[in-house]
A and B are shown apart, each in its own frame.
Chain A
Amino acid sequence: MTNETLSLYANLGVYSAMAVLTIAMIAFAIDLAGTAPRVLTVAPEIRKQPATVGAGSFVGAVASPVPGHRSDVSDLPRRRKAAGVAMMLTRLGGLLLIAAAAMRGLSVHRPPLGNMFEFALVGCMFVVVVFVAISLRRDVRWLGLFVVGPVLLTLGLAITVFYTDASELLPSLRSVWLVIHVSVATFSVALFTIAFSVTILHLVKTWLEAQEPEGMSRVRTVVNTALPPARSLDRTAYGIHAVAFPLWTFTLIAGAIWAEQAWGHYWNWDPKEVWTFVIWVIYAAYLHARATTGWSARSANYLALVGYAAILVNYMVVNVFFVGQHSYSGM
């Protein structure tokens, strides 16, 4: 039994979320593009009137025009109107995605975790929700473009290429473990996605920080100023990976428990199992590399990128092309 009207509304929700997030993405881009000139023109004014900025200690940060360090001045709200609009729209987009996922679930009377379209939808929802949650505690407006962009790409693919009509599940998927295993898997993939964006930005920033600030092109200067210092990017990426990895471990274990119930063996080297394991091993290697002296943060971060590539293979190649017991792409 499926409710076609509801699933139609779910699709409408996805389309409206995409519209809202597109505007958010443009606003984030405008905000980033405006960063560099603003800092350069504003900073001297502030230097003249340190009292207006508040505590004296901030003056030092403003007065030293060290490229690569976003001065605290640029975080003053009135100068980042575009970012404010973008954050509001991202929250709205998140709400629309939650609504879309909920309606999709209601239309088939089950959690919306049964095929590629639904994984993509719920995964995007998690990405946006996590991003908004982080933004409540820290200033991550610089990251907005690099989170909303991939989300839009995924949603576009989901509604066109991966789209599957709302329908019930194969008998082997009817289990509480669907909720436990697949939702945690999707959630940790969402975290890995954000961590992936931050890791890429870390590599870019490291590359920019090694360059002479004088000879930099305008685009590079903008990017360099917009991003937090490489060290802090690296720390953020590591922190997100450190949360995502135990969740992925849990996914692996929960999947094994479910496999034992559904197929009679907790591990049978099914292609999906293989790739889940491969991803786990690569990220385990990443964490080990972080703890190993002699490995720079940068080379460890390359491992994290390889891990994310494996996640993409696991989602897009294994589901569709490899023959196995996880053949539930709905395509």
Chain B
Amino acid sequence: MDTRPDEGDVTQPTLGPVGMMRWAWRQLTSMRTALFLLLLLAIGAVPGSIWPQRNIDAGRVADYLASHRSTGPWLDRLGFFDVYSSSWFAAIYLLLFVSLVGCVVPRSKIHWRAMRAQPPRAPSRLERLPEHGEIEVDGAPEDVLRVALAVLESKRVLGRHSGLRRWRVRSTDQPEPDGDSDGRSSDGLWLSAECGYLRETGNLVFHAALIVVIIAVAVGHLFGWRGDRIVVTGKSFSNTISAYDTFDPGPWVDTEGLSPFTVAVDRLDVTFEERAGGAQRGAPRDFTAYTRTQTSPQAPQVNQILKVNGPLKFGGASVFLLGNGYAPVITVRDAKDQVLMREATPFLPQDANYKSVGAVKVSAASPKQLGFFGFFLPSEYLDKNSGPSSFFPDLKNPALALGVYEGELYPQGRPQSVYTLSTEKMTQLKNAKGEPLRLLLKPGQTAQLPDGRGSITFDSVQRWAGLSIRYDPGKVLALGGAVAALLGLIASLMIRRRRVFVRVRPGGRRTVVSIGGLAKGEDPGLGAVIEDLLSTISERTGTKV
């Protein structure tokens, strides 16, 4: 019957705003789009591994921009140095997130209903199913069907006694929920059974758990913080914002409410590879910091060992040992031998052999302020090309190589790095020959500065520990989500969703048992399942082969 109206009455269906939204939603939540977004996510993540990233190493980004004057700014504008916080990367994963939600919610509803529903009725022609088998057994059809039911119900998921039934069975006798129960008379005798509902459950758990992981990451980003601090051995540090060299809080962190623990670093033991040759020589082997900690100023002190891979924990915050280096103890005196400054000054390692840079700033010097800038070398030697260098990261021949400047240390009071000297308002001191003055000091040595400016003494060397303190309230949730995702994934890949239908019909004096099987996706094992069922039924009915 043709119910279409005449041509003239055709009104083009127009998509109103609701229709448009519905259409867009369908597109977004389709598998095809999800696939496309997944691939886009993979491609979008790659640039972050090729170009240096600001959140990891801002210094390398600055170097890159300095050496690529034409392409650098463009890459920067496109967010290639902040890929994972760029708007386009966020767009990909947020769309994927929405697509994920749009896929999981309706599928959960369908699965919820399927879990409660009975298996469908057996189709009439089982031989048309992907897998099919047939045998003749002894006994009346009703008895054989009863045996088949018993066989299906006796199959367990984990061994014979687990109690977990493998198959959900529906037989001819059970009426449909809507009251249609005339199957027996018109439809012959049949059973239908289904197993592997956990496959879809696992699949949904996997996708839902990914959403949990994304939420956990967001929680960590909003409420987490991290701070870094260099602590020279013998010194301590307490967890307040002002104590940090750098502090990076999430947008919703209460920076006044940090837990008031303290960590004192008493000693730092460092071992480097001495035996192996080649690239392995000098590779770090062990870092151990001996610390005294207090959870609050009133709490008792506890001795704790801090190692790489072994952080200290204070409630939710963890203290990690991520760096180390040397802090030469330097004393600067004026012409009257009065001490202007005595301090262990941390120098920052620049290479694998700990050639370190640092600055000593003597603001108390007069009439002009004094600044020393240069290198600390744990194992000093003179390289023909690069000057004073270090051949090993440990203290085999420690030396300080410094240039001296005088003038204004902090022009206009601008903030500056403690490891470099801002020399725009300073002049370098010269020696008698008019060359820039260079000091090379070994521990215990003192150098006199020219023209009665005083002296500088390299007293001794201490080590410093680079501590990184992190607080991430989302990490437990992220771990839980990830583990749930893994379990769900395993269930969805390993469990088979199968339907099996049994029909019996009289065949001469015996009964013909016909079994057909249907599976979701590829299932090479389905044929074996049907064979197993057939042979068990044949055995239980006492059929002689």
**B309 at interface by CB-CB < 8 Å:** yes
A318→B49 contact, CB < 8 A: yes
Within 8 A of B (CB), among A82-140: none
Chain A min CB distance to B429 (Å): 37
Q: How many residue-residue contacts, CB under 8 A, span A and B?
A: 146
Q: Which residues of A contact B (CB under 8 A)?
A: 1-2, 164-172, 174-175, 235, 238, 242-243, 245-246, 249-250, 252-253, 256-257, 260-271, 274-275, 277-278, 281-282, 284-285, 287-292, 294-295, 310, 318, 322-324, 330-331
Most interface-central of A165, A175, A295 (chain B CB within 10 A):
A165
B: interface residue count bin: 35 or more
Residues of B within 8 Å of A281, CB to CB, are 38-39, 41-42, 45
B45: chain A residues within 8 A (beta carbon): 269, 274, 277-278, 281
Interface: B322 (CB within 8 A): yes
Contact residues of A: prevailing secondary structure:
helix
B280→A274 contact, CB < 8 A: no
Within 8 A of A (CB), among B274-293: 275-280, 283-287
B493 close to chain A: CB less than 8 A: yes
Q: Which residues of B contact A310 (CB under 8 A)?
A: 42
Q: Which residue of B lies closest to A307 (CB)?
A: B42
Are B308 and A168 in contact, CB atoms less than 8 angstroms apart?
Answer: no
A269 partner, pick from B35, B55, B475, B486, beta carbons under 8 A: B55
Which residues in B have their C-beta under 8 angstroms from that of A275? 46, 49
Q: Which of B48, B273, B308, B485 contacts A249 (CB 8 A)?
A: B485
B439 within 8 A of A: no
A170-B283 in contact given A249-B485, A264-B468 (Cβ < 8 Å): yes
By the criterion CB–CB under 8 Å, are B479 and A257 in contact? yes
Contact B48 A274 (CB under 8 A): yes
A191 to chain B, nearest CB (A): 13
Closest Cβ–Cβ distance, residue A6 to chain B (whole Å)? 14
Residues 313-329 of chain B, each 1 if its beta carbon lies under 8 Å from chain A, else 0: 00000101010000000
Among B34, B279, B308, B472, contact of A171 (Cβ-Cβ < 8 Å) = B308
Separation of A270 and B52 alpha carbons in the complex (Å): 10
29 intermolecular pairs with C-beta atoms under 8 Å apart: A2-B276, A164-B279, A165-B277, A167-B276, A167-B283, A168-B273, A169-B285, A171-B285, A171-B286, A242-B494, A252-B482, A257-B479, A260-B475, A263-B322, A264-B468, A266-B472, A266-B475, A266-B478, A266-B479, A269-B45, A274-B45, A275-B46, A277-B45, A281-B39, A285-B35, A285-B39, A288-B38, A291-B521, A295-B35
CA distance A245 to B280 in the complex (A): 34
A193, B35: Cα distance in complex, Å: 23
Contacts of B483 in A (CB 8 A): 253
Q: Mark B467-510, 1 if CB is under 8 A from A, else 0.
A: 01010100100110011011001100110000000000000000
In the assembled complex, B223 has its CB within 8 A of some CB on chain A: no
The residue that A167 contacts in the complex, of B38, B39, B53, B273, with Cβ under 8 A, is B273
